[in-house]
């Protein structure tokens, strides 16, 4: 930062506060150090006739941003979409998110600098590192990189082994059975309606019909593919 005073004639200059300058009695003084906060400086000009004029200069400083990164889910499952959220110390204009899956650092978005926050890293398949930096449009330097966060990725369990059942109307209706860890039962193929958790599923069905359920296995918080399981209740045939 350079300060310059211009008097209308010959004379002397004095800047205050004098402690801010290496020599406060110069027309164009140098600062003792960097300017870290918004500051006000006064220059006094005295011409050869002893006439005095003063002026005030205000230097407004903008802080260099810092940024941290929030990542989720972590740990993740194979195929999860990872939400990356930058948390800057001040309002900023753009962000640069990067990932490293073992092949070096790459940009998450295209273009690399982007206004969007948060952003999505789609379909994670292996443990991956993430980082972000931020910048603003005021001429100040970009932030440093955020601390790196590593997302660990757990594999999906294999499909569980399950058994379909049949029964006759009025007879004992067996529970449906699925082996594996934490079986979860659903009434629809989209797996939106959960009806039971556990190995033995008592459906409660008693009417004639074909009932289809879908069961998954979970391991380390990751849910595997579903398996269809049926219960069919037959009508009693008429007597001959």
Q: Is the pLDDT of residue 78 over 80?
A: yes
Percentage of residues of the chain with pLDDT beyond 90: 82
* pLDDT tens per residue across span 83-132: 999 999 999 999 999 999 999 999 999 999 999 999 999 999 999 999 99
Which residues neighbour 190 within 8 Å (Cβ) at sequence distance 6 or greater? none
* pLDDT tens per residue across span 198-213: 999 999 999 999 999 9
pTM: predicted TM-score of the whole model, two decimal places: 0.73
* pLDDT tens per residue across span 8-41: 889 999 999 999 999 999 999 998 887 778 899 9
Q: What tokens were used for 59?
A: 């230097």
- pLDDT value at residue 151: 98
- pLDDT value at residue 62: 79
Q: What is the mean pLDDT of the chain?
A: 94
Dist. CA 233–CA 145, nearest whole Å = 63
CB 22 within 8 A of CB 30: yes
Q: Is the pLDDT of residue 66 over 90?
A: yes
């Amino acid at each position: 930062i350079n300060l310059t005073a211009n008097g209308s004639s010959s004379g002397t200059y004095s800047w205050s506060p004098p402690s801010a300058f290496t020599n406060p009695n110069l027309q164009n003084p140098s600062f003792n150090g960097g300017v870290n906060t918004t500051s006000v400086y006064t220059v006094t000009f005295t011409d050869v006739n002893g006439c005095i004029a003063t002026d005030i200069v205000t230097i407004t400083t903008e802080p260099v941003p810092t940024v941290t990164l929030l990542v989720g889910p972590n740990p993740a499952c194979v195929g999860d979409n990872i939400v990356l959220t930058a948390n800057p110390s001040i309002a900023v204009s753009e962000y640069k998110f990067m990932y490293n899956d073992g092949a070096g650092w790459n940009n998450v978005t295209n273009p690399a600098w982007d206004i969007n926050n948060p952003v999505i890293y789609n379909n994670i398949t292996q443990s991956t590192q993430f980082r972000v930096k931020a910048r603003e449009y005021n001429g100040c330097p970009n932030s440093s990189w955020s601390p790196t966060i590593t997302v660990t990725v757990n594999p999906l369990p294999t499909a569980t082994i399950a058994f379909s059942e049949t029964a006759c109307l009025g007879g004992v209706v067996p529970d449906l059975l699925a082996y594996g860890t934490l079986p979860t039962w659903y009434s629809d193929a989209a797996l939106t309606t959960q009806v039971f958790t556990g190995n033995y599923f008592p459906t409660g069905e008693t009417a004639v019909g074909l009932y289809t359920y879908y069961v998954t296995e979970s391991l380390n918080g990751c849910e595997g593919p579903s398996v269809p399981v049926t219960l069919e209740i037959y009508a009693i045939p008429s007597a001959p």
